[in-house]
Amino acid sequence: MMTYFIWGISLLGLFIGIFWTQVVYAPEERKWKEQKEPTVSFLVPAWNEEKTLRKTIESILNVDYPKEKIQIIIINDGSIDKTAEIATDLIIENHGKNILLINRTRTPGQFTKAPALNTGLKQVTGEYVACLDSDSTIEPDSLKKIFEEFDEENVGAVISAIKVANPVTIFGKIQRIEYILATFVRKLMSKIDTLHVTPGALSVYNTEILNKIGKFDEKNITEDYEIAVRLRYKGYRIKIQPDSISYTNVPETFKDMWDQRVRWFRGFITTSIKYKNMFANKKFGMMGVFQYPINIISFIAIMFTFILFVYEGSKGAYNITNKLSILGTGILDLIKIPSLKSLLLHINIKVFFPITISLLVVIYLYYLAHKTQNEKWRHPLALLVYFTLYPPLRTAHWVTATYKEILRKDKRW
């Protein structure tokens, strides 16, 4: 059974890999785009961000864009550090700039930044809303480049290419690899019109469309993902501008990274259930007939992988226990270090071949991701961990997220 399962997973991965490789080389029609400089309102929600808020706001103030067309709304979301003081100092230092500070009290049980965003939305005056997390920064030309992609009426949002600002620890270095791949895949999704994410590190929305589809969902643990899928559900497009660069701070410890990923995956589960009508629905184009089914099938494959490996592991442990009981020996007596010749002779080609082919396709996609973004292959240890230890860890993230959703565990930020 394990052999058939590995073949099935490998074929699925191979299909997805080949599909995206074809998209890479598919011709892309480039239209002449009129330069737009509409009014923009930045929403910057901040909860205990005294260390990063100043840098975030200063990156907005330094954008190459008409200053009179920019509104900055800082929402101090019940911080207990010096966030409010820093925001006040920034307003005083930049007298004459359109910067507004809103101090709100976090409601009991609040677990997302959606209430802060919705509070800020009430004060928006711009034709477009730019959401920027208070631990993120943007390049000076990011905003101008974003508006090159608002070339059609049904474009509801445009996102930037996100880079890791702090690849210091092994966890930061691993996430650097992830973010490079994420930008690459999002560019491909945008190319075939299946992009369905609007991350907090600079996503710009059409204000009129945002008001039309409703405010951010305060009951969803990943409000940025939910609003993106809702845009797609309502018939609006999301695009990426890969030349618009933003930087974000990522978790630097195992626990912080674990909590973030479990939260992300819980948000994926709840949002997928909420918009289940998109599954295999031609009404939603490639999003309905390809991307959404692939998302769900991949999730099911991860869960089934976990169940199968637990079963095989339990069976192996049971067999070893029986053997120890019958032979009356210790476990160390059963351990034998095989020779290289023995290993090569016992390789199951039926298992080894599909895994190798799938791995080669994945490595090629990672190569393309680095090449298209002019990124260097750095941090060899992080690369090794990413390709070996990180996949089981991500499976653990998914299993934990599923477990918490099934038992309706408290949702915390």
- Residue-level pLDDT at 4: 63
Lowest mean pLDDT: which of 50-54, 102-106, 361-365?
361-365
**Domain 39-285 class?**
alpha beta
Q: Dihedral of the CA atoms 195, 141, 118, 266 (nearest 10)?
A: 40
**What is the rounded average pLDDT for all residues in the chain?**
88
Could you state, in order of their start, the residue ranges of all structural domains in the chain? Answer: 39-285
**Per-residue b/e over 267-298, b at no fewer than 16 CB within 10 Å?**
bbbbbbebbeebeebeebbebbbebbeebeee
List beta partners, residue 129: 41, 205
Q: Is the pLDDT of residue 335 over 80?
A: no
**CA torsion through residues 395, 398, 403, 406, sign:** negative
Phi-psi region of 106 (alpha: psi -120 to 50; beta: other; left: phi over 0): beta
The DSSP 8-state label assigned to residue 288 in this structure reads I
Q: Is the pLDDT of residue 85 over 90?
A: yes
| Owner of token pair 């809702």 | 230
Q: Is the pLDDT of residue 350 over 80?
A: no
- Residue-level pLDDT at 320: 72
Provide φ and ψ at 230, rounded to 5°: -65, -40
- Residue-level pLDDT at 333: 55
Per-residue confidence band for 375, with pLDDT thresholds at 50, 70 and 90: very high
CA distance 159 to 36: 16
Average pLDDT over residues 392-398: 94
The C-alpha angle with vertex 265 and arms to 269 and 199, in degrees rounded to 5, equals 105
Residue 345, H or E segment: helix 340-345
Residue with the larger pLDDT of the pair 124 and 32? 124
Per-residue confidence band for 233, with pLDDT thresholds at 50, 70 and 90: very high
Query: Terminus-to-terminus CA distance in the chain, angstroms?
Result: 40
Residue with the larger pLDDT of the pair 408 and 290? 290
Q: Is the pLDDT of residue 273 over 90?
A: yes
What is the pTM assigned to this prediction?
Answer: 0.88
Q: Is the pLDDT of residue 309 over 90?
A: no
Residue 93, H or E segment: helix 83-93
